[in-house]
Amino acid sequence: MIELFTSATPNGHKVTIALEEMALEYRVHRIDLGAREQKEDWYLKLNPNGRIPTIIDRDFDDFKAFESGAILVYLAEKTGRFMPQDTKGRTLVMQWLMFQMGGVGPMQGQANVFHRYAPKSIPYAIERYHKECARLYEILDNRLAENQYLAGDYSIADMATWPWISGHKWSGLSIENLPHLTRWFEQLAKREAVIVGKDIPSEMEAGTDKSKLEVIREFII
C-alpha cells in the first residue's frame, strides 16, 4: 500500500497517473495547500521541503519519498515498469524526466505566477517566462516528431510531462502550432490511467478520515 499525500496540481498528478499505470494499491491524503497544511509540523516530518507530493510505502518499511521525479523513479524501480533496465534506455528516460523537472515545470510554474497570480502585472516577467516555455515546448515537439513518446517507449518521462502540458492554456501558452506535441498530448489524454489520475484528488475529496495526530503516530513516531 502506498500512502500518497498530494493535491490537485501537475506535480501531484504525475504520481497519481503513475500509480494508476502501475496498478499499485494506494490511498490518497489530500493536502490543503490554501490552508498551508504542507507547512505544518506533522507534514514537514514527512517532507522537510513542505511541498507535495510525498509517499510512504507501507510494504517497504514505511519508506518515505518526496520530490515528484524521485517518486516516479522509485515507483518504476519498485514495479519494474516504465523504466528500461539497460543503461542507454534508462538514461534516455532520465534525461527527459530531468528536462521536465529542471525546465518545463519550473518555467511554466513561473509563467503561472506572473500570468495569473502576481498582484501587479509585470510585462517583462510574463514575456520572459512565456518565451522560455515556448522554447521548451518546441524542443518537445521536435523530439516527438521522431518518436512516439519522449524516451522512445512510454515511460515515467511522459507521465511527468503530460500534466504540465495539460495546463498550457491556464499558463497563457499554446500548442496549436506544435503538431507533434499536440498528437502526443491527445494520445496520452485517452489512456485510462491518465483519465483517472488527472482527477485525483478531486476538489471535494476529504483525503483521509484520520486525525492529524493519528497520522503522526502511524507514519512518523
The predicted structure's pLDDT at residue 202: 81
The predicted structure's pLDDT at residue 59: 96
The predicted structure's pLDDT at residue 96: 98
> Residues 178, 141: contact at Cβ < 8 Å?
yes
Domains along the chain with CATH numbers = 2-81+197-219 (3.40.30.10), 87-189 (1.20.1050.10)
Q: What is the pTM of this model?
A: 0.91
The predicted structure's pLDDT at residue 203: 56
The predicted structure's pLDDT at residue 57: 98
Q: What angle do CA 167, 34, 36 make, to 5 degrees?
A: 120
Which residues in the chain come in under a pLDDT of 50? 204, 206-210, 212-213, 215-221
Q: pLDDT tens digit string along 10-48? A: 999 999 999 999 999 999 999 999 999 999 999 999 999
> Residues 156, 97: contact at Cβ < 8 Å?
yes
